[in-house]
Structures are given as structure tokens and as C-alpha cells.
């Protein structure tokens, strides 16, 4: 890799790789699955899209449905430990 690649840089490169991959994932997801994005020429001709079902399916995806049933806590065991009266 050369002289500039030091062991201290590995965590930074890992974080930047993760963030870049998440950005690429989100951009690809929006480009391919978002009902508002029109790549096909026949869809671009339509002024108003009548695709309410497709929009609901895109907005209410599986991860959001799963998280809706979970409590809004990051670390429930630690929160429970510190919130109890002793």
C-alpha cells in the first residue's frame, strides 16, 4: 500500500468504507425501488402517476414494520438497570 498506509488509519478507513457503502445502498435503493423515480421512458411520459399501492409498499418496508413492534430503546437492559429504584 505504500508509506502512507499506517495502522492508525485502519479504523478511519473502515468507518469511511461503511458510510460509503451505506450511501451507495441508499442511492441504489431509491433509484430502483422508489415510485417517484422514473427511469423508463414510458413512465416519464405520464404527468401524474397513480401508484398509491406502490408508494405505500415502498414507505412501509419490512424493517420499518419490524421496528414498529420493538420498544424504542437502544440498550433496554442498561436502561432497565439504571431506571430501577434501589
Euclidean distance between CA atoms 1 and 9, whole angstroms: 12
Q: Per the domain annotation, does 79 fall within a domain?
A: yes
Q: Per the domain annotation, does 38 fall within a domain?
A: no
- Supply the pLDDT for residue 75: 86
Q: Per the domain annotation, does 24 fall within a domain?
A: no
- pLDDT tens, position by position, 42-63: 777 776 667 788 778 888 888 8
Q: Per the domain annotation, does 32 fall within a domain?
A: no
Please identify every stretch of the chain with a pLDDT value under 70, giving residue numbers as ranges.
1-2, 47-49, 86
Tell me which residue range forms the domain holding 72.
49-86
Q: What are the φ/ψ torsions at residue 47 (nearest 5 degrees)?
A: -75, -45
Q: Please give the span between the terminal C-alpha atoms of the chain, in angstroms, as a whole number.
A: 55
Contact 71, 52 (CB under 8 A): no
The total domain count for the chain is 1
Q: Per the domain annotation, does 41 fall within a domain?
A: no
Amino acid at each position: 500500500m505504500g508509506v502512507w498506509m499506517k495502522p492508525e488509519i485502519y479504523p478511519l478507513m473502515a468507518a469511511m468504507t461503511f458510510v460509503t457503502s451505506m450511501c451507495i445502498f441508499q442511492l441504489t435503493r431509491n433509484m430502483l425501488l422508489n415510485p417517484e423515480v422514473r427511469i423508463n421512458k414510458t413512465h416519464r411520459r405520464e404527468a401524474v402517476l397513480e401508484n398509491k399501492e406502490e408508494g405505500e409498499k415502498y414507505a412501509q418496508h419490512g424493517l420499518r414494520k419490524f421496528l414498529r413492534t420493538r420498544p424504542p430503546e437502544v440498550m433496554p437492559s442498561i436502561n432497565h438497570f439504571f431506571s430501577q429504584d434501589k
